[in-house]
Amino acid sequence: MNPKDPDEDSWVFTIRKGKEKDKSLDEIRKYISTKFGTNTVETREKWAVDHQDGVMWFYLKCEIGSVREIMGKWNETILSFSSMKDEFKRGEDIVSGVSMDFLNNINMTADKLGAKVKNKRTPEAYWSPRELCMISQNPGNDISDRCKYHTDHTMGAGVIFYVIDTSFAIHHKDFEEIDWGESSDHIFTSSEDRLPSKDKTKNPDFKIDAKDRAEDPAKYQLTQKHLKHGTFVLSKVVGERYGIAPNAKAVLVKVTNRELEFTAKFCIEALELTYKHIQLRIAKLTEKEKEDLRIILVFSIGIFYEGNHPESIMEKERLINIVRALSNLPYVAFVTATGNKSDPQFNLPPHLTYTKTLKSIPTGTNKVLQEYLDSYQRTEVSDHPPILGANEKEFPNLIIVGGVISDADFFGRGIFQTADFVRVSAPAYKVQVALNYGGLEYSGNEYTGMSGTSLAAPAVAGVLAVLISAHGYTIEEAKDKLYSLAYSRARDGDDTSLYPPVVYNGMGQPPKSDSESSDPIIASHPQTDIDDHPDLCIIRRRRLVRRARGGVTEETVSVNNCRGTPTATFAHITPPPPVVYNETLCQMCLRASGTAAIDGVMWIVDDCPCRSREPPKPTG
């Protein structure tokens, strides 16, 4: 903490209604006194209650790591938390128009921005990347470059990820709030491997010295590539700045050896070790703990088998068997990506990544990019394990994720490989991720925009985790909800076959006609930091419109979280408008399942303007 700014790390926690006399409050007080002491002058601990409305809250001065720990342990008791800073007591002009439930802990300190800004900041500094906004884009809403990402405050708490990838730069600042534990908590294909030490002379991220770098630059570049890939994926899952589920626990599964060499056999062995690791974990659990277990595997790797060589056939069968075993575990979801290959008719290298195609754009030509877009749906999924998604009965919890573009020019358009069985896609173009510290090509940047379905898969896995932590879903329930919420971002005039269903977390703001509203349990995540956050008081507003045969009920509630006191509540009933059959609205309505507003209306499923109650048809 900075002694010059006594309020730098002061927080206000709002207690959920009905929990004002809960025993868990005593647990929280005991935790505070044990960890921070009983000197309230230093801890700034203060409890308050609004007797008129019964809203309770408390204040505490602590580090963000402790805030996350408190929210993780008592999220059923604590509704929200927010920072309190004198610097931002400067007026309504900053707070005005903000509609949020909770602060984002994606980006908790000032040095996590590309540049530190300690003085007044423009509103543009608080917008989220488009790919994040897309994930929380409510049907009927459009997004611009100035948008905000919304999610639930639990952010994956209680869910366990097994991130199965090439390697991980775990000492990147994007993961500095994570306690990685011991090497034995993770999985390595090499018996000599272990978690890297911060001291690079003892145990670096990978074993390669200056001599190797000079004599074999190609090998060095390959090791850098493998280190980057796993770091990208990990940051998209649990990273502080852009991660979807930063409150989840991550088990690292490294599929390369100590020198970061990579083979298909290493991948298969890593999956087999993952299965054994899960079984050992289960053996130590009580029956109740087994019921609560939620595991998500993230495998952004594709293995292509060609020909009838006996060894390849045996290896492929071994891979299929372990994927089948993992995807049939009721408490495990196996999330993987479609792949990045292009249609050979366009004369592009078969493994050309989308990032490389972008090199043509600065020169003024868009030809390669357009050809790559045109190859969509002409390049079927060909790698394992994603190709196994065609058999959902045999691989029930295998989720195959395709890629789309979040840029305005091709917003929501599919790219890379796909197939009829791909039921959900996510942004896979210029996705912001953490970059390991190795490469002049990135000018020393710690974050960068990368492309590929390898980044779409962890985004969907993160949304799956948030659905679980927010609603207590089982794996099967969360998977079904994930599919039902996904919807195409096609606009009028677009070829809908090129716009697949895109992941939606169900927590976006209603359409702009209700711009002062938000769902009652969402959390807004602008890409900002706690130290410079402008929202001294977080305004929570909602406007819900429910349509039923008896009429339309509209309710508006506005809550100021600094005092936790509702400022206005009203409801009225008006006659419902006539229902006219509308196929597009019908499909959106059925997919929303009564959980997301469409044009400001929360439809009851039975009232959807459909001719029948058939399930929604795929849009792509």
Phi-psi region of 508 (alpha: psi -120 to 50; beta: other; left: phi over 0): beta
What pLDDT is attached to residue 523?
38
What pLDDT is attached to residue 596?
64
What pLDDT is attached to residue 581?
55
The fold for domain 160-341+379-502 equals: Rossmann fold (3.40.50)
Say if CB 134 and CB 406 are below 8 A apart.
Answer: yes
Say if CB 315 and CB 304 are below 8 A apart.
Answer: no
CA atoms of 552 and 572, how far apart (whole Å): 8
What pLDDT is attached to residue 559?
33
Torsion of CA 534, 531, 168, 242, to 10 degrees: 0
Residue carrying the six token digits 């779409």: 456
Phi-psi region of 97 (alpha: psi -120 to 50; beta: other; left: phi over 0): left
Distance between start and end Cα atoms, the chain: 51
What pLDDT is attached to residue 386?
92
What pLDDT is attached to residue 332?
97
What pLDDT, in 10s, does the model give residues 95-144? 222 222 222 222 222 222 222 222 222 333 357 889 999 999 988 788 87
Distance of CA 63 to the CA centre of its chain: 23
Q: What is the DSSP string of 211-235?
A: HHHHH-HHHHHHHHHHHHHHHHHHH
Angle at 518 between CA 296 and CA 524, to 5 degrees: 50
Q: What is the DSSP string of 368-418?
A: HHHHHHHTTTTSB--SBTGGGGG-TTTSTTEEEEEEE--SGGGTT-EES-B
The question of whether 454 is a catalytic residue gets the answer yes
Q: Which of 80, 99, 375, 454 is catalytic?
A: 454
What pLDDT is attached to residue 333?
98
CA atoms of 587 and 48, how far apart (whole Å): 47
Average pLDDT, the chain: 72
H-assigned helices in 473-603: 475-485, 583-592
Q: What is the DSSP string of 295-312?
A: EEEEE---B---S--HHH
Torsion of CA 477, 480, 485, 488, to 10 degrees: 160
The most distant pair of C-alpha atoms in the chain lies apart, rounded to whole Å, by: 79
Q: Which residues of the chain have pLDDT under 50?
A: 1-8, 51-52, 86-125, 201, 208, 210, 343-367, 438-443, 513-579, 612-620
Phi (first) and psi of residue 49, to 5 degrees: -145, 140
Q: Which of 153, 186, 229, 384 is catalytic?
A: 229
What pLDDT is attached to residue 281?
92
The question of whether 153 is a catalytic residue gets the answer no
Phi-psi region of 461 (alpha: psi -120 to 50; beta: other; left: phi over 0): alpha
Cis peptide before 385 (omega within 30 of 0): yes
The question of whether 5 is a catalytic residue gets the answer no
What pLDDT is attached to residue 567?
32
How many alpha carbons fall within 13 Å on the CB side of residue 563? 10
CA atoms of 80 and 523, how far apart (whole Å): 9
Residue carrying the six token digits 């927590």: 507
State the amino acid at position 17 in one-letter form. Answer: K
Q: Which of 9, 101, 152, 165 is catalytic?
A: 165
Annotated domain spans of the chain: 1-84, 160-341+379-502, 540-607
What pLDDT is attached to residue 52?
43
CA atoms of 242 and 296, how far apart (whole Å): 19
Tell me how crowded residue 587 is: count the other CB atoms within 10 A of its CB.
Answer: 21
CATH of domain 1-84: 3.30.70
CA neighbor of 22 nearest in space, from 82, 78, 66:
78
173 by DSSP, 3-state: which? helix
Task: Provide the sign of the torsion angle of the four alpha carbons 130, 244, 223, 404, taken in this order.
Answer: negative
